[in-house]
């Protein structure tokens, strides 16, 4: 184990540091990782962000993105960096399976592992933990780590602020989820004061769709949406052929589930997509409804109460049927 004093002492001199995050990184994964990266490089550390897989283009403008290494494209270089690191920061995940094959390398590494995360039920692989499930984003915890644990707010420069703002904005669904506390708004104000250009970040993340993405969204809403009023639930299910027809790329399916949730009476929304020989599920819910419980119990997944994911090796039709048979169990909660 490593206590805060020992970690501070380590960080007082240049270290070899790897920062990593969950596979298929989202705005918080990359925002928190690059926020920490931009903080560490100011102090002379040799830091590298390694993403287990690639990620959507709408994150490629983040400061420091050009220095990110993608594990699946540079496995040898990644393995070397992990093996030689003194410190490995694990951001926005808490189970080694979330970083795919990299999990073995990180698990075997002699480096101190620092977990900064806000997901339920962390695994015990870390040496130092800054973990809080009430945080709206890992980026919020990185801010807290820098300001309230390391006492180095002066290092929150424009690049750090821009990345952390992006993480908080995306994971809180633009400051709309219940965990967007007054503390979060104060942090966001500090980030704007430190140079984050809030309106520009919104533009870059949310107003950069391709024509294909918009037409695909239209298809999902017009032809793939099923509403189940008796359960206040909506499903959008997309098959392989649709993905091909609309030339759907990484990130194009991101956020489509939220359109189903935007209906007044819908409490639970599911987006199901056939990818390879698997069906990926993305669940969103309102209020107290535990979307993560369904993912954990039935679809080998998990996540947060209002945003969770899972996977199945059954066919799309079977997954839709299975999902519908689960709903009666939750009818009371859904009809509240
Ligand atoms: Mn997150």
Count Cα atoms within 13 angstroms, Cβ side, for 126: 20
Contact 63, 159 (CB under 8 A): yes
* Bridge partner residues of 271 (DSSP): 236, 282
Distance from residue 160's CA to the centre of ligand 1 (Å): 17
Distance from residue 116's CA to the centre of ligand 1 (Å): 10
Distance from residue 222's CA to the centre of ligand 1 (Å): 30
Distance from residue 137's CA to the centre of ligand 1 (Å): 5
Residue 80, C-beta contacts closer than 8 angstroms, at least 6 positions apart: none
H or E element in which residue 145 lies: none
Count other Cβ atoms within 10 Å, centred on residue 84.
Answer: 13
- For residue 182, what are its two tokens? 């007054």
Give the separation between CA 129 and CA 152, rounded to whole angstroms: 18
Q: From first to last of the 336 residues of the chain, give the pLDDT tens digit.
A: 899 999 999 999 999 999 999 999 999 999 999 999 999 999 999 999 999 999 988 999 999 999 999 999 999 999 999 999 999 999 999 999 999 999 999 999 999 999 999 998 899 999 999 999 999 999 999 999 999 999 999 999 999 999 999 999 999 999 998 899 999 999 999 999 999 999 999 999 999 888 888 999 999 999 999 999 999 999 999 999 999 999 887 678 888 999 999 999 999 999 999 998 999 999 999 999 999 999 999 999 988 899 999 999 999 999 999 999 999 999 999 998
Domains of the chain by range and CATH?
A: 4-206 (3.90.1640.10), 211-334 (3.10.310.30)
Whether this prediction's pTM lies above 0.85 is answered by yes
Distance from residue 7's CA to the centre of ligand 1 (Å): 23
Distance from residue 143's CA to the centre of ligand 1 (Å): 13
Distance from residue 223's CA to the centre of ligand 1 (Å): 31
Give the separation between CA 279 and CA 286, rounded to whole angstroms: 23
* SS3 label, residue 120: coil
H or E element in which residue 139 lies: helix 138-144
Angle in degrees, 0-180, between the axes of helices 291-298 and 316-326, rounded to the nearest 10: 120
| Rg (alpha carbons) of the chain, rounded to whole number | 20
Of 141, 144, 47, whose CA–CA distance to 92 is shortest?
141
Ligand 1 is an ion; its neighbours by CB within 5 Å are: 28, 92, 138, 171
Distance from residue 139's CA to the centre of ligand 1 (Å): 7
Distance from residue 73's CA to the centre of ligand 1 (Å): 24
């Amino acid at each position: 184990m490593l206590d805060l004093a020992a970690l501070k002492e380590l960080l007082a001199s240049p270290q070899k540091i790897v920062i990593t995050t969950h596979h298929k990184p989202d705005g918080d994964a990359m925002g928190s990782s690059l926020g920490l990266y931009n903080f560490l490089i100011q102090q002379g550390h040799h830091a590298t962000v390694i993403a287990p897989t690639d990620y959507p283009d709408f994150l490629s403008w983040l400061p420091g993105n050009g220095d990110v290494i993608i594990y699946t494209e540079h496995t040898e270089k990644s393995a070397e960096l992990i093996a030689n690191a003194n410190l490995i920061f694990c951001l926005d995940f808490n189970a080694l399976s979330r970083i795919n094959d990299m999990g073995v390398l990180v698990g075997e590494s002699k480096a101190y592992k620092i977990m900064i995360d806000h997901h339920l039920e962390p695994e015990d692989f870390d040496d130092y933990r800054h973990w809080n499930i009430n945080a709206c984003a890992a980026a919020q915890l990185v801010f807290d780590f820098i300001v309230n644990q390391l006492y180095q707010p002066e290092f929150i420069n424009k690049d750090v602020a821009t990345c952390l703002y992006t993480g908080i904005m995306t994971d809180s669904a633009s400051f709309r989820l219940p965990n967007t506390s007054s503390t979060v708004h104060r942090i966001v104000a500090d980030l704007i004061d430190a140079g984050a250009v809030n309106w520009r970040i919104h533009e870059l993340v949310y107003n950069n769709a391709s024509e294909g993405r918009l037409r695909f969204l239209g298809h999902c809403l017009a032809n793939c949406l099923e509403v189940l009023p008796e359960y206040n639930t909506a499903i959008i299910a997309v098959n392989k052929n649709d993905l091909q027809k609309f030339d759907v790329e990484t990130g194009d399916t991101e956020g489509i589930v939220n359109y189903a949730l935007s209906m007044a009476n819908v409490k639970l929304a599911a987006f199901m997509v056939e990818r390879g020989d698997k069906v990926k599920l993305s669940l969103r819910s309102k209020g107290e409804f535990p979307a993560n419980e369904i993912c954990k119990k039935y679809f080998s997944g998990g996540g947060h109460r209002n945003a969770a994911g899972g996977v199945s090796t059954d066919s799309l039709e079977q997954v839709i049927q299975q999902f519908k048979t689960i709903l009666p169990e939750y009818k009371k909660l859904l009809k509240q």
